[in-house]
Amino acid sequence: MRKDGARIPVLLTVSPLRNREGQIVGASAIARDITAQRRSEEAVRRSEKLATAGRLAASIAHEINNPLEAVLNLIYLARNDPRQADQYLSMAEEEVGRVAHLAQQALGFVRDTASPGGIDAARVMDEVLQLYSHKLDSKQIRVTRRYRGSAQIVGFAGEVRQLLTNLLVNALDAMDRNGALHVRIRATRRWSDGLEGVYITLADNGSGIPQQSLRRIFEPFYRSASVRAAQIHGTGLGLPLAKSIAEAMGGMLTVESKLGAGSVFTLHLPCVREAHRPALARTSGRDVEIPQ
């Protein structure tokens, strides 16, 4: 607390003071004001949110463009063939419904509640995959999904969508045409202290990540010429932000990769009933295989 009463975040370091015999006779404390660092971190988060919004806008534009073109074609046909006008207008109405559904999904990505609530992980994952279906189809990427158990987690829906979006974009950028993406969601009680949790795994058969880069891919702005990932094509903040969101929810984000074979990103998140526990036990994730 400053003299004027304002509270500030500090980094506190306490070191022991020893005499010649090695006995502790006191302590040295250093408090460093990290307000500027916190502001920089917040600026980084805002920057990545804007980048995510831009990527989503591009995907939504592609998805909306197709039904709008269909509506225009159907209106043209109705004008030129009055006998089939009712059928054409009915089809156009269905296409408008598709646009409305996409608009509602887009609003769900930008709106969020003031407090965390229960979230169906499988439903949110499906929404993200649908919004990026155009890019998946254009690269002819085959997506397989396997959902097991009740995967209800607690958090802010907007943050969960952003987290999954960053992981999906990372996998998309790592894969060439005709790639394969495996999405798995499952509830489990495998953690050592008996905590229930949810595993969300995205496994791609892309270029993979060199071992020397794995230790640093969650660092902001880290770039490697040999890593074809979202960090290179985007802001370099997607994976660091995804990791911070996972940890804020009481979970963790891990990665396994093999150069030339692909990468596996695994989210470990607490279930609804365990959401207020302080943290999750670590797991090796050795049951996940990189697709060949």
Q: Residues 212-265: pLDDT tens digits?
A: 777 777 776 555 544 444 344 444 567 777 888 888 888 889 899 888 889 999
Phi-psi category of residue 291: left, alpha or beta, with phi > 0 → left and psi -120 to 50 → alpha: beta
Q: Residues 22-73: pLDDT tens digits?
A: 999 999 999 999 998 888 878 877 776 676 666 666 666 766 776 787 788 8
Domains observed in the chain: 44-110 (1.10.287), 117-274 (3.30.565.10)
Q: Alpha carbon of 176 to those of 12, 84, 130, 136, 227: distances in Å? A: 47, 44, 19, 11, 13
For residues 95 and 73, the answer to whether their CB atoms sit within 8 Å is: no
Q: Residues 162-201: pLDDT tens digits?
A: 788 888 988 888 898 889 999 999 887 654 444 568 889 9
Give this prediction's pTM: 0.57
128: confidence class by pLDDT, cuts 50, 70, 90: confident
- pLDDT at residue 237, as a whole number: 62
| Highest-confidence segment of 1-15, 145-159, 202-216, 257-271 | 1-15
- pLDDT at residue 26, as a whole number: 94
Closest CA to 106 of 137, 143, 72, 64: 64
Residue 108 to residue 174: CA distance in whole angstroms: 27
Show the CA angle centred on residue 59, arms to residues 55 and 61, nearest 5°: 115
Residue 27 to residue 209: CA distance in whole angstroms: 44
Mean pLDDT across the chain, nearest whole number?
Answer: 76
Length of the chain: 292
> Residue 106 is which amino acid?
A
97: confidence class by pLDDT, cuts 50, 70, 90: confident
Show the CA angle centred on residue 61, arms to residues 59 and 62, nearest 5°: 65
